[in-house]
Amino acid sequence: MDRTALAPRVRVEVLVDADDRRAALHDATFWGLRDTPKQVPAIWLYDERGSRLFDEITRLPEYYLTRREREILVARAPEIASVTQADTLVELGSGTSEKTRLLLDALAAEGTLGRFAPLDVSEEVLVQSAYAIAEEYPSIAVHGVVGDFERHLPSIPDGGRRLVAFLGSTIGNLPPDARGRFLRSVATSIGPDDALLLGLDLVKDPARIEAAYNDAAGVSERFQRNALAHLDRELGSGFTRARFDYLARWDALNEWVELGFRSAGAQVVQVPELGVEVSFADVERLRVEVSTKFRRERFEEELRAAGLALERWWTDAGGDFALCLAVRASV
């Protein structure tokens, strides 16, 4: 790929420089390790290796989420383009923007597409996919943002009529408080002609949900363990030398899958960069992320509480996954 030739149409804005990112992450890790259960921020999952492992997960036979979401996009992208008439597609947590091509194609066919604005915390992946999309779509501008969707929504590229997509059920990784803050921040950051498109994994048989995160090839476990390796590299900690068993279990009360580890025996892990040592009891949990599963009524209520209104709700044929289109609620 000739990046120089594409450069006039590609702009990458960096909202989190390395120092800013490090300070926020260290702070969140410091406090997370004091929480009950102990936890570390899910952002540790996404270094370059983590992003590659996540891509592998999306192709696993047990991981139905990506295939179901794709099925809905194939069926509904033209309708989404026609309803929204968006000229700018903003994508939060864009990763490789694999499924996003379906939306870009539909908006291009609708004749409205002028700009693509992916936002991701992982700079390498963002830059790569920004240039790849600029090459595939020669008539659009690409404005990538290296940023945090929990902090930088007010700075997403503005102007025009925007469709803000947040796919892959990534919103399910935010626990309820953080999800409420995120949705409120969307409501204040979008205009009356903009729309929000969310991918949501739905509540279903717990055995199928747990199987999606306990794949036979062990990729999901490697993905979670990579977060510990990333922590060790940046904080000089000893998580990978300690003994932890992988944990991916359905929590029926919260309707989420908890992903992380259980301590195999009582042990102490040093975290020199944070100046702490962390004691784990036998089988004590260390949470890395949760993956919430949704129900339509309850989610509609969450949207309403955040000042958003549900416009459309589409599911795949089996009812496993939903795409939901929301707009700012009128006052």
Question: How many angstroms separate the CA atoms of 138 and 260, rounded?
Answer: 42
With contacts defined by CB under 6 A, name the span among 19-27, 167-175, 206-214, 242-250 that binds ligand SAM.
167-175
Q: Which amino acid is at 271?
A: V
**Minimal distance in Å, beta carbon 251 to ligand SAM?**
19
Considering the rule CB under 6 A, would residue 121 count as an interface residue with ligand SAM? yes
Window contacting ligand SAM (CB under 6 A); options: 114-122, 135-143, 176-184, 211-219:
114-122
Interface stretch with ligand SAM, choices 108-116, 120-128, 282-290, 308-316 (CB under 6 A)? 120-128
Quickly list DSSP for 240-252. TTS-EEEEEEEET
Q: Cβ closer to ligand SAM: 171 or 235? A: 171
Q: What's the min distance (Å) between Cβ of 241 and ligand SAM? A: 26
Please count the residues of this chain forming the interface with ligand SAM, following the rule CB under 6 A. Answer: 17
Instruction: Give how far Cα 79 sits from Cα of 76, 103, 133, 160, 195, Å.
Output: 5, 10, 22, 19, 13
Of 135, 88, 132, nearest in space to 110 by CA: 88
Q: Which two tokens stand for residue 270?
A: 């040093």
Tell how strand 308-315 and strand 321-328 pair up: antiparallel
CA separation for the pair 120, 168 (Å, rounded): 13
Stretch that binds ligand SAM, among 71-79, 91-99, 106-114, 134-142 (CB under 6 A): 91-99
- Single-letter residue type at 193: D
The residue within the footprint of ligand SAM, chosen from 29, 39, 84, 122 (CB under 6 A), is 122
List the one residue from 44, 46, 250, 294 that touches ligand SAM (CB under 6 A). Answer: 46
Q: Does 93 bind ligand SAM (CB under 6 A)?
A: yes
Other CB atoms closer than 10 Å to residue 236's CB: what's the count? 12
Which residues of the shown chain bind ligand SAM in the complex (CB under 6 A)?
A: 43, 46, 51, 54, 58, 93-95, 120-122, 148-150, 167-168, 170
